[in-house]
Amino acid sequence: MSATGTTRQKMPADILAMKGGAPIVCLTAYTTPIAKLVDPHCDLVLVGDSVGMVLHGLPSTLGVTMEMMILHGQAVARGLSNALMVIDMPFGSYEESPAQAFRNAARLMGETGAGAVKLEGGVHMAETIAFLVARGIPVMAHIGLTPQSVNTLGGYKVQGRGEDGARLMADAQAVAEAGAFAVVLEKVPQGLADRITAEVGIPTVGIGAGAGCDGQVLVVDDMLGLFTDFKPKFVKRFGELGRAAEAAVADYAAEVRERSFPATEHSFADEVKK
């Protein structure tokens, strides 16, 4: 609630304050209608670079551009009044230097109205996160499986098993110390995710990281059954809208071909009776 008693849109500080409390609910959105649909139920809505695969048919997130993120960010912003909007920084827009990251993060926030940006990386991105936060750019971090690094990771593998767990713990601590207000843990063993959640002072938002995280995120098209090109282990289908849509399209095509649509009630008379 605001000082006037009216409901206001959530801010990064509100998400940070949810650490250890009620679980944070997060979904992706790329369009205004979906943003309106998820907004009343979510604390945080992510305009993810997954848009490249989900809506544009790209084989990975690597081909997503700043212009694509801005276009979809603007669309999502029009549908939100409750949830914090976080927008992904696309591959190549922040890795070169903190100064490059600031220019592009400021552009994303300025042109979309996003309340924060998300970027991938742990220890090696801590300097950049601190640079952004010091200049008024709230940052959500993302460690574990980082899809923009899929070529160097050798595929979409679980991260942090065995001795590799120490690396991820160090990543989580580094981004928290750098000033990130939350961190996404993707495809991380549940036990490790639980330890990270217990030891870092910022909320953890899991995707394939078990139920012990401070919150959860899924790609909305995955959980609705709209994007069916692949189904990761961590995705639960909460709906099968893709099948329902396919059946509806088939019914439409059949009625058009048999000339039962449009019917009289869908058509206009030559003259209007007075």
CA distances from 105 to 88, 101, 163 (A): 9, 6, 34
Which of 86, 44, 84 minimizes the C-alpha distance to 69? 86
Please indicate if the annotation marks 214 as binding a ligand: no
Confirm whether residue 50 is marked as ligand binding: yes
Cβ-based burial of 112 (10 A; exposed 0-12, middle 13-18, buried ≥19): buried
- Report the alpha-carbon distance of residue 210 to residue 72 in Å, rounded: 29
Structure tokens at 69: 């993120």
Hunting for tokens 């495809």 — which residue is that?
187
93 annotated ligand-binding residue: no
Tell whether residue 88 is among the known ligand binding residues: yes
Catalytic residue flag (residue 186): yes
Virtual torsion, Cα 82, 61, 170, 152, nearest 10 deg = 180
The one catalytic residue among 111, 186, 246, 255:
186
DSSP assignment of 7-23: -----HHHHHTTTTSSP
157 annotated ligand-binding residue:
no
d(CA 42, CA 90): 23
Q: Annotated binding site for 3-methyl-2-oxobutanoate: which residue ranges?
A: 49-50, 88, 118
Q: Annotated binding site for Mg(2+): which residue ranges?
A: 49, 88, 120
Catalytic residues: 186
Q: Annotated binding site: which residue ranges?
A: 49-50, 88, 118, 120
